[in-house]
């Protein structure tokens, strides 16, 4: 699979999601329930560009220390895909625990100025997680659970060495686990956007 990471190369560059974002894949829950579990109320339908405008205003006012303040959710197959520009809520243990209650979550956080994470949670518990830029740093109740899948996308979980394309490899893993390929086309759909400002 390492030769087919090109589908996710757009996430390695400073594209529409830039250098800080979180994407959470939530199995079997509709977007309204996902927005509620994030604490975003009923949400409002808008484009990715409109949501990004709200995020930019919030980040400017808070100097980015509180994340992006908004989450946008779309449905893809049997999964809801939650996108947080400039955010990381979907990677926090207390949030991913609530998101995964009675279901399953795969979440990827890119943060070029702090530690990024790949998290797999089931029914409120982080089963396996790791740091894409340092895949030997694994954690969770079953930290070895994803090892073979990590190797299949080019991560070496035994070496303290940064992979060449950690973000693309993380999204390739998510696609294998969820059946959802995260593409720019998902961001062209109307999103159900929740206000999660703290």
Digit-coded pLDDT (tens) for 87-139: 999 999 999 999 999 999 999 999 998 889 999 999 999 999 999 999 999 99
Which residue bears the tokens 């625990």? 97
Query: How far apart (Å, rounded) are the C-alpha atoms in residues 89 and 86?
Result: 10
Query: How far apart (Å, rounded) are the C-alpha atoms in residues 85 and 55?
Result: 7
Digit-coded pLDDT (tens) for 35-79: 999 999 999 999 999 999 999 999 999 998 899 999 999 999 999
Q: What is the mean pLDDT of the chain?
A: 94
Distant-in-sequence, close-in-space partners of 178: CB < 8 Å, separation ≥ 6: 25, 27, 77, 79, 106
Share of the chain above pLDDT 90, in %: 87
Confidence of residue 2 (pLDDT cuts 50, 70, 90): very low
Share of the chain above pLDDT 70, in %: 98
Query: How far apart (Å, rounded) are the C-alpha atoms in residues 97 and 16?
Result: 28
Confidence of residue 20 (pLDDT cuts 50, 70, 90): very high
Asked if pLDDT for residue 160 goes beyond 90, the answer is no
Asked if pLDDT for residue 11 goes beyond 90, the answer is yes
In which domain, by residue range, is 104 found?
2-195
Which carries the bigger pLDDT value, residue 1 or residue 119?
119
Residue 174's nearest CA partner among 149, 193, 151 is 149
Distant-in-sequence, close-in-space partners of 173: CB < 8 Å, separation ≥ 6: 106, 118, 146, 149, 150, 153, 155
As given in the structure block, the two tokens for residue 170 are: 């993380």
Query: How far apart (Å, rounded) are the C-alpha atoms in residues 44 and 51?
Result: 10
Domain count, the chain: 1
Asked if pLDDT for residue 1 goes beyond 50, the answer is no
Which carries the bigger pLDDT value, residue 15 or residue 27?
27
User: What's the confidence (pLDDT) of residue 115?
Assistant: 85
Q: Give the dihedral sign, CA 182/175/83/63.
A: negative
User: What's the confidence (pLDDT) of residue 3?
Assistant: 54
């Amino acid at each position: 699979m390492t030769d087919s990471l090109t589908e996710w190369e757009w996430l390695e560059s400073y594209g529409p999601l830039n250098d800080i974002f979180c994407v959470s894949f939530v199995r079997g829950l509709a977007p309204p329930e996902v927005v509620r579990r994030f604490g975003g109320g009923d949400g409002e339908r808008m484009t990715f560009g409109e949501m990004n405008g709200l995020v930019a205003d919030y980040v400017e006012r808070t100097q980015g220390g509180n994340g992006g303040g908004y989450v946008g959710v779309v449905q893809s197959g049997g999964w809801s895909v939650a996108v947080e520009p400039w955010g990381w809520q979907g990677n926090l243990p207390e949030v991913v625990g609530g998101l995964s209650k009675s279901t399953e979550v795969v979440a990827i956080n890119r943060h070029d100025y702090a530690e990024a994470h790949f998290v797999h949670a089931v029914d409120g518990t982080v089963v396996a997680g790791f740091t894409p830029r340092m895949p030997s740093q694994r954690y969770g109740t079953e930290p070895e659970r994803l090892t073979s899948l990590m190797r299949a996308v080019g991560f070496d979980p035994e070496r303290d060495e940064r992979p060449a394309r950690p973000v693309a490899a993380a999204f390739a893993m998510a696609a294998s686990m969820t059946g959802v390929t995260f593409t720019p086309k998902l961001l062209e759909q109307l999103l159900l956007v929740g206000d999660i400002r703290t």
